[in-house]
Every structure is written in C-alpha cells, then in structure tokens.
Amino acid sequence: MRIVLVPALCTVLAAAAFALDIGKPSPVFTIQRLDGTKTPLTQFRGKVLALALIDTECPHCQHLTGLLNTISKEYASKGVQVVECAFNEGAPQLLPGFIQKFQPAFPIGYSNHDAVVSYIAWSAVKPLYVPHLVFLDRRGVVQADIAGEDDFMKDPDNNIRKLLDKMVKPATTTGAPHAHPKTTASAAAPSHP
C-alpha cells in the first residue's frame, strides 16, 4: 500500500491574483545563492526548468524537496533542471540548515518576498500558497504556473512527472508542448503559521 501525502498547503504572507502568462517568455528573475552568486533563470535556457518557490519551514515544501531530489536525478539526462527558491522571512539564515537536512540535488537559493510576488504576477486579492511551481520550456517560455492550492499539488509526484514527460518530448509540427492552464484555484486550505 502506498501512502500519498496530500498537501494541506502552507501560506506565505502576501496575496494572490492570477498567474504568469502561459506561452509567454518568463519575466526576468534571479535567485541569490548562499555562496554570494546570483543565478538568473536565463542561465538555464536550453533545459526544461522546474522552479519551486518555497518556504523553508513549510512541511509541504520540505516534502516537495524530497520528491524533487528524486525527480531531478531521473530527468537530468532528459535535459530537465530543477531549482528551488526560498522566499520566507529569514531564508538566507535558514537555508544552510534546510540544505543540510534535505540535501537537495539541485541548485537552491533565495529571494525576497516582493521579487517573488512580482515574478509570478501575484496581487493582493488572496493568500499565496506554497509550494508554488513554475515550469519553463527550453526557450524560457512559461508552460505552467501552479499555485500551491491547485489540485495538481494533491499528487505532485505523479503530476510533475506527467508534465515533464510532455515537456521533454520533441516538438511536433502541431505546435507548442502541452501547457497546464493558469492556476486560479481558490480552495480554502489550512495555512502555515
């Protein structure tokens, strides 16, 4: 019997509106690394990018980090890059312990709350739930923007793999890879204190 953890979802101070524009180039976004380097998302052009926006103290984000560890190893040979960005208060100080405990097999860094909210085009209408996922194709075009309260997050292990499988397939003459629709779910969920 397999037990699947269904995220009750954690919330971060901020609020929501809608999402990134699916099918449009990703806005500029840079992640600060603990070694002092800055990593712009454009650095990953040529790879399918799975970006997880997290809170280091959120148990659902911690669980997702474990899933992404496995997924990043499985999909690395297919040209997939996983990256995490913490944006909770105190993230720069909390990241060393988070990294030591969860041993991410992919780049992880931090940004400030305002930069993340601006990047994902969130506004002050509803809470911003984490983890929040963004998927970019090899050209840096947004293919999915998945809010923490989206049904997608009820089974992230399988749903991330399904989406990545579609994104790594060679382009067809019929158009762009399948994209997950914009996330506008507003289901009430317990919040992270």
In a domain, 177, yes or no: no
Token couple for 59? 């148990």
Contact 80, 136 (CB under 8 A): no
pTM attached to this predicted model: 0.81
In a domain, 180, yes or no: no
In a domain, 179, yes or no: no
- pLDDT per residue, tens digit, the chain (193 aa), is 222 233 334 444 333 345 789 999 999 999 999 999 999 999 999 999 999 999 999 999 999 999 999 999 999 999 999 999 999 999 999 999 999 999 999 999 999 999 999 999 987 677 899 999 999 999 999 999 999 999 999 999 999 999 999 999 986 544 444 444 444 333 333 334 3
Q: What CATH number did the domain enclosing 108 receive? A: 3.40.30.10
Query: What residues contact residue 162 under an 8 Å CB cut-off, 6+ apart?
Result: none
